[in-house]
Amino acid sequence: MGASGTIGRAVVNALYEVHEVVSASRRRSALRVDIADPGSIQYLFRTVGKVAAVVCVAGDAPFGELTTLTDADFKLGLTSKLMGQVNLVRVGMEHVTDGGSFTLTSGILARQPMVGSSAISLVNAGLEGFVRAAALEAPRGIRVNIVSPGWVTETLRMLDRDPSTGTPAAIVAQAYVRSIDGTTTGTVIDASGGA
């Protein structure tokens, strides 16, 4: 999920030579899914069938100062990035093979907030708590991890900010590879400062 995005493209590049990758997003991937819609997630898994790993680098949450964020802003983050990824695990569990894995995405703003990040920090921290608990209950040796990227170099460049403080997407992608190919579970994988 999110295969066409800045981080998602790098994750696909890091995986495709050794794994068969099925890419999905709302508009710009081979398969269509809106993770904010549980029915769309159901449809995706029915279409794809069994998979060994589910990776999500998708989901929206808005920036904005606390006094200006609306109910709709908070709802977007909760419905899209938070419950979208939670529902991927809930719906996807029966479609993942024994010993398979889920790798979700949070972000550094969970533990290093900034002015304007309250809605995003809420969502990212909630996801990290969810993953630690969900891993305890995952059946059949299925692992559940979450990658926490810092600012990505390519994103900073797009935002006209100093890219030298970021981490290249290709380096962030290695954290997803470690989650998929490794043995860790219930882990927040820090991808904010290099591989």
Residue numbers of the site for ligand NAP (CB under 6 A)? Answer: 1-8, 25-28, 33-36, 57-60, 80-81, 84, 105, 107-108, 149, 151-152, 155
Cβ 14 to ligand NAP, closest distance in Å?
Answer: 14
User: Between 1 and 171, whose beta carbon lies closer to ligand NAP?
Assistant: 1
Cβ 134 to ligand NAP, closest distance in Å?
Answer: 18
Distance of alpha carbon 98 from alpha carbon 68, whole angstroms? 46
Nearest residue relative to ligand NAP (C-beta): 5
Cβ 164 to ligand NAP, closest distance in Å?
Answer: 14
DSSP E strands, the chain: 24-25, 31-32, 51-55, 96-105, 143-149, 188-191
CB 194 within 8 A of CB 152: no
Environment class of residue 25 by beta-carbon count within 10 Å: exposed (0-12), middle (13-18) or buried (19+)? buried
User: Between 140 and 195, whose beta carbon lies closer to ligand NAP?
Assistant: 195
Instruction: Please state, as a whole number, how many other Cβ atoms lie within 10 Å of the Cβ of residue 167.
Output: 22
User: Between 108 and 189, whose beta carbon lies closer to ligand NAP?
Assistant: 108
CB 171 within 8 A of CB 191: yes
User: Between 102 and 151, whose beta carbon lies closer to ligand NAP?
Assistant: 151
